[in-house]
Structure formats: structure tokens, C-alpha cells
Amino acid sequence: MEEKDKDKQKKSRREFLKKSLIAGVGVVTGSKLIAAYIDKSRLESGEKVKALTTHGEIIEVDKAHIHTPRVSIKESHKGIPGRKFVMVIDLAKCKNARKCVESCQKGHFLPKSQEFMKVYLLQDSEKSAPYWFPKPCFHCDNPLCVSVCPVGATYKRSDGIVLIDNERCIGCKFCMTGCPYSTRVFAWKKYPEFEGDKQPYSPEASSPGKEGTVSKCDFCPDLVRIGKLPYCAQNCPMGVIYFGDIDEDSVTNGAETLRFSELIRDRAGYRYLETLGTRPSVYYLPPVERQFPVDKGFNGLDKNVKNRYENTPYSKTHKL
Amino acid sequence: MENKTIRDNLLKEVAPHLERTTPAALAWILFLLSIIGLGIFAFITQVTKGHIVTGMRDNVVWGIYIVNFIFFMGMSYAGAIISGTLQLFRTEWRKPIIRLAEYLAIISLLIGPGYILLCIGRLDRLYYLALFGRIQSPITWDVIAISTDIFGCLIFLYLSTLRDIANLRDFKELNLPRWRKKIYSILALGYEGTPEQEKRLKRATDIMAAMVIAIAIIVYSVLAWIFSVTLQPGWHSTIFGPYFVIAAIYSGTGVLIIAMWVFRKVYHLQQYITRKHFVAMGVLMVVLAALFGYFTFSDYLTKWYGSEKNDESLIKILFSQYYWPFIFSNYIGVLIPLIVVGIPKLRSITSITISALIVIVALWFNRYLIVIPTLESPYLPIQDSRPEWLNYSATWVEYSLTAAGVALFCLLYTLASKFIPVMNVSEMADVPGTDKTEGPFLTEESLL
Amino acid sequence: MKGFQKVSCFLLLVILDCFQIKVFSQEQKDSLADINTKISLLYLNTSNDTVVLTANLFVSRDQGPFALQNAEIEFTATAGKEIKLLGETKTDDQGNAVLKVHVKSGLPCDKDGKTVYLVKFNRKGKYLSSAESITAKLAKITVNFSKEDSLRFIKVNANQFESTGEIKPVTKEKVIVYIPRLFNLLKIGEIALDDNGEGRIDCPENLIGDSLGNITVIAKIEENDTFGNVQGQSSITWGIPKQYYLAEKPTRELWTPIAPIWMIVTLIIMLTGVWAHYLYAVSQLIKIKFARKKDLF
């Protein structure tokens, strides 16, 4: 294995030598400055460059982990001005790759037993077709979970996002019974993963998690604030999850940007369990003309994950 | 108005209960304390290790704690409604047993809310309920309602024991340490039975009797609304408020009959608590059994007949996975009292007590079947590989704390009976018939 | 050969060590195994006499790419033998180093008008050097709007700059028309340029603009072999003014912080009723105590 890696390294090194015109050894010195230009009189500084908080070391940063300061709890009660977020999930493209689940768990420092995003194998009736159903929080416009909270620990913001303040939550779990979509999860004990997050707590990041409180999918407003898509939308290999601003009539999965109204019109988008009157902010595109057969979704699954689909109607007629 | 000889004889009868603690009673108290100790240990385990030590998980977020909560609160409201009604109607046979109902109201009201606290993940933030309370939340309604109810029941209990406390203060033959006599003297508020004092006491007692009935109905409805305001298939029912109230009085009647039986045996009150009282309570229990059966039937019938997908699957679970508990709680628990008390030949103190016991257990399971199967069958199917995530089963922690609650209930009942007589001595000493016209309702006949 | 490489690598490291004690003092804990870095380059001509060069530096790991932060990237422009250093800038926390180049400052170009842009990360410690280049010819796109009767058109005009300084139309190229949205650009149409370097499309009716109805239209030639990415943009009030979802004033709903009025009123009535009775009962108790005192004296 190591040999292979070394070979690879050499190969790429050679390629790189071919490519580069000038070979040399550079010095990277520690500095708090970011944009140090040689000729300042002629060159403007790049506007996308952000201020650094580190003190000069070269740091490897996971692309998905952006270390911008998190907003305070008080600030998190206000929505991002002039926005109303919406998610569209294309069931025709989902093959249970579970990248949404995993990236979300990683991004929110969740233990394996806690999933903000869950992927169900649904079959509406005996003869109807089974399909994969990724389910985030629906961020309802009539959120029963928020209505029933006795201490205002969960709240809906002006941008439509429903957040939880884990510093306020008393853990009565009423919201969990109030939510008809089984979206909320409880921290039944102190999970070591929570310790992995060294940044101060913010409801916008839902992290670090707190024992004895409720948490859930938060639509990643911390990422949205810096123009990034939520973890699930960013990391879905099939581009199943579209995210955007409904008032701007546009959603994107990163690769393609579409008009929300046209997408819903052309693909007959709907909201799950509309009859309950919760008015979700998540729309589904029905699983028509699918790109994958359902059993593709079992490929490469952990045994533990596979087991959970054992009692589905699908498993009674098919071998998993 | 009081017949002094009757009163003094009665006081002599009950004085030993207050004066002495027999070795058997001591052993009983120690036994209860050890169970409570186990409960404390379980509680400490839950606080230090987190709620993971319970059987509750993300789907069944409320387990037998909430079942116990409903159960104890139900008993309390039953105690309040029974004692309040009997007081208002000046029912003659109430006198030896009304104190037991009042105890029931206040003691279970002190234990019940403890169980909802056990469901709370962050007890250290409990005061947030007062600090950040939202009026929209049924939990806030419940907090307000229960605390109002506790005050109401305490005032009512105090008003209805005031005359007995004054009697105890004045009863010279009572062999008690001085500090206890001092307490009686302070609590008696200088009540001497002057016409004005008597008039005021009657008036206040009647008002509070009416209040505790009203509050009990409202508070238990609020508790029912905690469930029925959600969209969960088994809970989202308009009938839940009255259904819970009826179920509460029904279970409380059962507990009261048991309490009557126990105190009758232990304190040898056979002379005062007679078959007549058991039959009277039994008849009340039958009426409530019929009402309870009616409400249960309406609730499940409409769910079954309309057969919405999720209701249907819930009914399916109840009749498969929970078949025996369901049959026991909703068939046997209704039919047994109907048969036993309904057929006059079968009525006896023992048979009524046994059917009361069955009613209590059946009602506990009834609440279990309301809470747990619903949480086990949400709109989106539970897809999990961990069995404890699929189906709820209580752990030793939950069972220990349940046992501790029952033990605490028994302990408080025992201690209360050692402080103030379990029978309303002063009312029993009242000359029969003299107070009838003074009641708010002109009832010429008692229930029997 | 392998041995020689190892030795030379070692020597190189020794030399590095001598010169850059500072650097290595910060990384003593790290193993000295070399790590290949990768760099990508994005070229965008904004038609604003500016070329934006974005370099992204990262290392490949099993878990995916890891951005390298605070690394110095060197930007140069070349044509033939002419080499011009454009500048140096450091990567941010996402591994991006951005440089804006003024076209008017004069870029070297060959006889076809093409310039080679080169970005380079010079080896630093265990992180090996990497470089990337892009070749592009300067061009410019302008966006205009016109209204004929009730029809509204977006007009696009594209020109290219020859090495001689001459300006010629860009012909036969595909221009994609976008409007910017929260995360990405929303495509609203495509234009094939004619011989004059011009083209137009209908402006869709129901585009949502800002709160005043302003929309920005971006026309873009994308990943073109000759021109790279070229974009031009312009704004007009042809959009539908954006309606804000929630009024600033909080409403009284079940889920808002403040409760509906009827709820508060009901609660107050009930609590007042109950507690008034309690107070009455307690007042009777107090009077009972008082009544006794009167008897005594």
C-alpha cells in the first residue's frame, strides 16, 4: 500500500515537474496577513480573500469546514434578511448513497446514532413502487414543534428556518412528539463527538451538541451565510438535493440552478403529508423516470444500515 | 351542634393511630423507605449517566414515566372530584371516607408531577419554565394548572381538617409529645366552633369544594390536551379531554376503595367503614366504568371505522402486539366492576375491593396503551436496526422509580394517617340532619 | 535511480532545513514525508478591464480534498519569452488565492493575442511544489436591453482584442445568459453570436428582482478554448419586486414568541376567577382566627 502511494507520488511529481516552468523552492512564512502583493500600486487585492484567524502556520482545512466565526444565540433568532429558504428533493435521482447523512453528521459533529438527515425506504401501498426518501427537517411554516415548546428554545426565523437553542432547551421532548415527521433527535447521553467541536456554540451550527437536549436538521444557515449550500446538498453525488430562496424563485444543487416554480410545475412537485397543515418548506419531486433501480440503494451499505430496511414492505417481496 | 360524647368516643377510637407506631407499622415504613432508596439510586444513575439508561429513545420519547404521571394525576383529580362532590351534596355516607379522598387528592398530586420531571433532560434548567414560559405551550398550561391545583387542594384539605385539628388540640386524653400538640394548636387557628367561625368555615369549605372540582376537570383536560394537540394518529382526538377526566375518576374510585379496605383492616374501623360504604363507592365505580367503556369505545370505534391509514395501523398493533394488555385494560377492566357490583348478589367488601384492584391495574395499562403504541407507530415508519429504537421496553431504572413512586404514595398516606385521623371525626359527630339545609344544594337523599 | 532520488530528496531537505529553520520549527511534530499538492486555476474576464485569476491549492486525501491555508501563490503572465510577474497572494481558509489583474496595465501576448497565465506554489516544507496554467485571449462582452412594442430583449455584444490593438467582433460563439441568484447563476437563455458579434433573446417576464425590481443580467462565454471565461453584465428594473416573506412586526401565532390575544385573555380570566376564590377562602380562615380573639377579650 505504501509502495503504491510512493509510486503515485513520484509519478505526480514528475508530471508536475513537466508542467511547471520554473522549479524552485518557496518559503511560506507565518503571517497574519493574507494578501501580500508585490506591487500594491498596480494590483488590487482580491475581494474574495477572507481574514485569517490563525497565526501563520500552514493549516490543512477540510474544504467543507469553514471556520468563520459563528453567530451568537441572540443573533441566530433573526433570519438572514430578505430570504426564505426552500429545499427540493428529487426522488427520481436518489440511490441511497448516504453522502447527505454522512456529511451532515461530520459537519455537525454528530455521533453515528444521531442523524439529522434520514433516508427512508418508503412504499406507499402494497402494489405501489418503493422509493428512497431522504428526509431533513421540513422547516414548516406552521411548525407544531415551535408552538408546543414551553420555553421558546425552538423558534422560527424570518428566513423560514426553524432552529433550536440548546442552551435554552430543557429537554422535555414535547417538540419530538409534536413533530409528525419524526425529525427531531435527542442527546440521550454525552457523546464524545460533541467534544470534537472546539468552536463556541451557536444554534446556527447546532454544534457542539448538548446532553439532554433536542436537536435536528438546521438547513445549515452558518454555511448559507457564506454562500455555501448545506452539507447534504453540497455532498450529494447525484444532485438530489436542491436548495435556494423561494422568494427569488431559484434553487440549486451546486451543478445546476433552476427556477423553483418551473421545477415544481414541470416535475409535479409536492410536499409530504400536506394534509397535516404544517406547510413544510421542503418539496419533493416524485420518483418518476428514475435514474436507478431501488436495489441500487443497497450497494455498499454498512450491515447496520442495511438491517434497518429489513422490516419494510419492500423487503418482504425482495431479497436485500 | 356537635355531640360531645360521640366525638370523644370517636377520638378515643382513633387516638392510638396517632399515638403509637406498632412494630409492624415501623417495618412497613422501613420497607417503603428502602424502595424509595432504590428509586433514589435509580434517579442518581439517570442523572449521572443520562437518559440512555432508560428505555426511552428517539421515537418513544416518553415511557412509563408519563404513564405514571397520568396515573397519579388521575388519582389526585379523582380524590378532589369525589371529596368535593360528596361535600357539596352533603352525602351522609361520606363522613368516614371523605378524609381518605382528600388525602388521595393531595398525596398523588405531590407525586405525579415528579414523573414528568423524570422525563426532562435538563433538570438544571427547570426554572426556565418560569423564566421563559410561553403561554402557547400546553406544558405551560400544565405547569400553571398543577401549581394552582396544589394550592387549591391544600386549602381544601386544611379547611376540611380544621375542625378535627381543633378537636385534637382540645382532646386532653391524647398522649402525644408536646411539640405535636403545639403544632395542632397552631394549625387549629383558634377555632372554637363559635357560630360565626362555623358559618365562615362552611362557606369557605363549600367554595373550595366547588373550586377543586372545577380545577380538577380543567387540569386533567389540560393534561389530555398535551397529547391531543399533537398530530400523532393515536392522540389527535377531540374526545381526549372528557375521556381522561372520566378515566381519572374511575381509577381514583378504585384506589379509594383499596384505601378504605386497607385502613379498615389496619386501624380496625369495621364499625365505621361498612359494607354500605363499599357498595356506595362500588356503585360510583360502576357508573364510571360504564362511562369509561363508552368513551374508550367511541374513541377506538371512530378510529377503526374511518380507518385512516395510520389509525388503522395503530389499531392493528393494539390488536396484535398489545393484544392482552388491550383486552385486559379495555374489556376486563370495564366488565369486571359492571358484573361484580352490577349484580347485587355478588356485592361484598372483598369482591368490590378485588374488582377495584383490577380497575387500577387495567387503567395503568390503558394509559400505557395510549402513550407507547402511538409513539411506536409514527407517520414515517421507524427504520432502525437497533431493537431498542424500534420498540419500547422499560428498564430497571424506570421500574425502580415507578415502585418508588408507589412506595412514596403509601408512605405519605401512612404518615398522614398518623397525623390527622383518617376519618372525619367532627363531621361524624355532627347530629345527622342538622346541616342538610345549609348545603348549597338541597338534597334530601344521599346516593343510597 | 531510486536511491539517488532518495539521497537528493534528503539533501534538499537538509538544505531547506538550513535556510528555513523558522518554517520547520513550526512543524517539528510533522513527519517529513513529502506531500503532493495540487493547484487549480480559474480564469475569468469580467469585461471590466479586469481579469480575475483564482487559484485553489489542496492536497488529495482519502476523505477528499483538503485545502491548504496561508500558502503563498505566485501569479505570472507569459507569452513567448516574455515573462511578467503579476503578483503574489496567500491562500485563504478554503485554499483560494485570488488576484485581480488590470488588463490596461499591459499583458504580454503572442501574435494571436493569447496570454499564458501561470500560478505556482513553491515547495514549503513537506508540501511539494505545484503549478497550473491557462491560455486565453482578451475579449469583452457588453449587455444591453431594448424594448420593441411590448417585447423586451436582452442584447449581447462581444469583441476580441488582437495583438495589434485592433478590436474585432467575436463570431459564432455561444453566449449563455444568466441572472445571479443566492448561491449560483440561474440560466435564462443561450445566444449564438452572429457575424457582427451580436445576438439577443427575449427577456423572461416573471423574473424576480430585488425589492425594487432590479435584475442583473450576466452574459457569459464559458470555458472557451480561445477566450476562457468572459462575462459582461448590466442591470435593469424589469424584474418583479421581491416580496419579503415575513413582516418585520412579529405576528401573534401559536408558533411566534408572543401568544394570540384570546389565549392571554382566557388564561387571565380563568386564573383570576380561581385565585379570587382561593383568596376568599383564605380570608375566611383569617376571619375565623379573628373571631376567636373577639371572644377572648
Residue C32 has pLDDT above 80, yes or no: no
pLDDT, tens digit, 9 for 90 and up, residues C67-104: 888 888 999 998 888 888 888 888 887 788 888 888 87
CB contact under 8 A, B126 and A170: yes
A289 touches chain C (CB under 8 A): no
Q: What pLDDT, on the 0 to 100 scale, is given for residue B34? A: 97
Chain A residue numbers touching B122 (CB-CB < 8 A): 169-171, 212-213
pLDDT, tens digit, 9 for 90 and up, residues B329-371: 999 999 999 999 989 888 999 999 999 999 999 999 999 999 9
pLDDT, tens digit, 9 for 90 and up, residues A53-98: 333 334 444 444 444 578 889 989 988 888 899 999 999 999 999 9
Number of domains in chain B: 2
Chain B residue numbers touching A168 (CB-CB < 8 A): 125, 128, 132
**Residue C8's pLDDT band (cuts 50, 70, 90):** low
User: Do B187 and B256 belong to one domain?
Assistant: no
**Residue A18's pLDDT band (cuts 50, 70, 90):** very low
Average pLDDT score over chain C: 82
Query: Out of A131-145, A294-308, B45-59, B230-244, which region has the weakest mean confidence (pLDDT)?
Result: A294-308
CB contact under 8 A, C92 and A146: no
In a domain, B373, yes or no: yes
- Determine the distance in angstroms separating the CA of C76 from the nearest CA of chain A, rounded to an integer: 11
Query: Out of B82-86, B123-127, C274-278, which region has the weakest mean confidence (pLDDT)?
Result: B82-86
Q: What is the mean pLDDT of residues B171-177?
A: 81
- Determine the distance in angstroms separating the CA of B187 from the nearest CA of chain A, rounded to an integer: 38
pLDDT, tens digit, 9 for 90 and up, residues B218-260: 999 999 999 999 998 889 989 999 999 999 999 999 999 999 9
Interface of A with B in 267-286 (CB under 8 A): 273, 276, 278
User: Do B235 and B207 belong to one domain?
Assistant: no
Query: Are C91 and C71 within 8 A, CB to CB?
Result: yes
Q: What pLDDT, on the 0 to 100 scale, is given for residue A11? A: 43
**Residue B13's pLDDT band (cuts 50, 70, 90):** confident
- Residue ranges per domain, chain C? 18-136, 139-236
Q: What pLDDT, on the 0 to 100 scale, is given for residue B12? A: 83
CB contact under 8 A, A278 and B140: no
For chain C, give the percent of residues with pLDDT over 70: 85
Q: Which residue has the higher pLDDT, B282 or A82?
A: B282
Q: What pLDDT, on the 0 to 100 scale, is given for residue C161? A: 87
Could you say which of B365, B386, B407 is where a domain stops?
B386
Distances from the Cα of B434 to the Cα of A2, A209, B92, B437, angstroms: 103, 68, 11, 7
Q: Is C132 left (phi over 0), alpha (psi -120 to 50) or beta?
A: beta
Q: What is the mean pLDDT of residues C220-242?
A: 89
Q: Which residue has the higher pLDDT, A284 or A295?
A: A284
Q: In what order do the strands lie in the sheet with C114-121?
A: C82-90, C72-79, C114-121, C130-137
Find the domain containing B156 and state its range: 1-220+394-430
Q: What pLDDT, on the 0 to 100 scale, is given for residue C18? A: 43
User: Do B65 and B214 belong to one domain?
Assistant: yes
C1 touches chain A (CB under 8 A): no
Q: Which residue has the higher pLDDT, A56 or A272?
A: A272
- Residue bearing cell 370517636: B10
Dihedral sign (CA B424, B429, B432, B434): negative
Q: What is the mean pLDDT of residues C247-274?
A: 86
**Residue C279's pLDDT band (cuts 50, 70, 90):** very high
Query: Are A10 and A2 within 8 A, CB to CB?
Result: no
CB contact under 8 A, C259 and B190: no
Q: Which CATH class is domain C18-136?
A: mainly beta
Q: Which chains touch A (3 or more CB pairs under 8 A)?
A: B, C
Residue C2 has pLDDT above 70, yes or no: no
Give strand ranges (E) for chain A: 44-45, 59-62, 85-90, 118-122, 131-135, 154-156, 162-164, 185-186, 214-215, 241-245, 250-252, 257-259, 282-285
C6 touches chain A (CB under 8 A): no
In a domain, B43, yes or no: yes
Dihedral (C-alpha) C127, C133, C139, C143: value to the nearest 10 degrees?
-40
CB contact under 8 A, C274 and B215: yes
User: Do B87 and B146 belong to one domain?
Assistant: yes
For chain A, give the percent of residues with pLDDT over 90: 54
Q: What pLDDT, on the 0 to 100 scale, is given for residue A16? A: 39
Q: Which residue has the higher pLDDT, C43 or A60?
A: C43
User: Do B211 and B275 belong to one domain?
Assistant: no
CB contact under 8 A, C131 and A155: no
Interface of B with C in 282-311 (CB under 8 A): none
- Residue bearing cell 440552478: A257
Residue B444 has pLDDT above 60, yes or no: no
Q: What pLDDT, on the 0 to 100 scale, is given for residue C34? A: 82
Residue C21 has pLDDT above 70, yes or no: no
Residue C7 has pLDDT above 60, yes or no: no
For chain B, give the percent of residues with pLDDT over 70: 95
CB contact under 8 A, B51 and A189: yes
CB contact under 8 A, C90 and A252: no
Q: What pLDDT, on the 0 to 100 scale, is given for residue A63? A: 40
CB contact under 8 A, C284 and B200: yes
User: Do B272 and B303 belong to one domain?
Assistant: yes
Out of C263, C281, C285, closest to residue B135 by CB: C263
Q: What pLDDT, on the 0 to 100 scale, is given for residue A143? A: 94
User: Do B172 and B254 belong to one domain?
Assistant: no
A209-225: b or e for each residue (b if 16 or more CB lie within 10 Å)? bbbbbbbbbbbbbbbbe
CB contact under 8 A, A304 and B143: no
Query: Are B122 and A212 within 8 A, CB to CB?
Result: yes
Query: Out of A164-168, B72-76, B319-323, C241-245, which region has the weakest mean confidence (pLDDT)?
Result: C241-245
Residue C17 has pLDDT above 80, yes or no: no
Q: What pLDDT, on the 0 to 100 scale, is given for residue C110? A: 85
Helix then strand count (H, E) for chain B reads: 17, 0
C67 touches chain A (CB under 8 A): yes
User: Do B326 and B372 belong to one domain?
Assistant: yes
CB contact under 8 A, A188 and B378: no
pLDDT, tens digit, 9 for 90 and up, residues A165-206: 999 999 999 999 999 999 999 999 999 888 888 888 999 999
Residue C10 has pLDDT above 70, yes or no: no
C63 touches chain A (CB under 8 A): yes
Out of A36, A42, A257, closest to residue C181 by CB: A257
Q: What is the mean pLDDT of residues B276-304?
A: 93
**Residue A28's pLDDT band (cuts 50, 70, 90):** very low
Q: What is the mean pLDDT of residues B60-74?
A: 94
- Determine the distance in angstroms separating the CA of A150 from the nearest CA of chain B, rounded to an integer: 5
Q: What pLDDT, on the 0 to 100 scale, is given for residue A37? A: 24
C184 touches chain A (CB under 8 A): yes
Q: What pLDDT, on the 0 to 100 scale, is given for residue C95? A: 85
For chain C, give the percent of residues with pLDDT over 90: 31
Q: What pLDDT, on the 0 to 100 scale, is given for residue B439? A: 53
User: Do B290 and B370 belong to one domain?
Assistant: yes
**Residue B148's pLDDT band (cuts 50, 70, 90):** very high
In a domain, B407, yes or no: yes
In a domain, B437, yes or no: no
For chain A, give the percent of residues with pLDDT over 70: 79
CB contact under 8 A, A82 and C65: no
Angle of the B138-170 helix axis to the B64-88 helix axis, nearest 10: 50
**Residue A310's pLDDT band (cuts 50, 70, 90):** confident
CA nearest to A184, candidates A162, A207, A152, A202? A162
Query: Are B275 and B349 within 8 A, CB to CB?
Result: yes
Q: Which chains touch C (3 or more CB pairs under 8 A)?
A: A, B
CA atoms of A233 and A228, how far apart (whole Å):
10
- Determine the distance in angstroms separating the CA of C266 from the nearest CA of chain B, rounded to an integer: 11
CB contact under 8 A, C259 and B136: yes
In a domain, B71, yes or no: yes
Query: Out of B233-247, B365-379, C282-296, which region has the weakest mean confidence (pLDDT)?
Result: C282-296
Average pLDDT score over chain B: 89
- Determine the distance in angstroms separating the CA of B312 from the nearest CA of chain A, rounded to an integer: 13
Residue A240 has pLDDT above 80, yes or no: yes
User: Do B153 and B236 belong to one domain?
Assistant: no
CA atoms of A36 and A48, how far apart (whole Å):
14
User: Do B401 and B381 belong to one domain?
Assistant: no
User: Do B241 and B371 belong to one domain?
Assistant: yes
Would you say how long chain C is, in residues? Answer: 297
Q: What pLDDT, on the 0 to 100 scale, is given for residue A219? A: 94
> Quick one: CATH architecture of C139-236?
Sandwich (2.60)
Out of B159, B189, B207, closest to residue C277 by CB: B207
Q: H helices within B171-194, ranges in order?
A: 178-187
Question: Hey, of B228, B230, B388, which one would you mutate to test binding to chain A, going by the most A CBs within 10 A of its CB?
Answer: B230
B429 touches chain C (CB under 8 A): no
Q: What pLDDT, on the 0 to 100 scale, is given for residue B70? A: 95
